[in-house]
Chain A
Amino acid sequence: MCHALPVKIIALTGSDTAKVSLGGIVKEISVALIDDPQPGEYVVLHVGYALAKIDEAEAERTLALLAAEGSDVVAEFTAPKPAVEAS
Chain B
Amino acid sequence: MPILALTGISVHIGSLPILAGIDLELAAGETIGLAGPNGSGKTSLLMVMATLSRPTSGSGVVLGEPLDQPSIRKVRPQIGLSAHDPGLYPELTLKQNLRLFATLIGRSQEQADSMLRQVGLEAARDRRADQSSNGMQRRVDLARLLLLEPMLLLLDEAHAGLDSHSEMLVDELVARNRSRGGAGVVVSHDHARLRERTDRIIILDAGRVAV
Q: A and B: real partners?
A: no
Chain B residues with CB under 8 Å of chain A are none
Chain A residues with CB under 8 Å of chain B are none
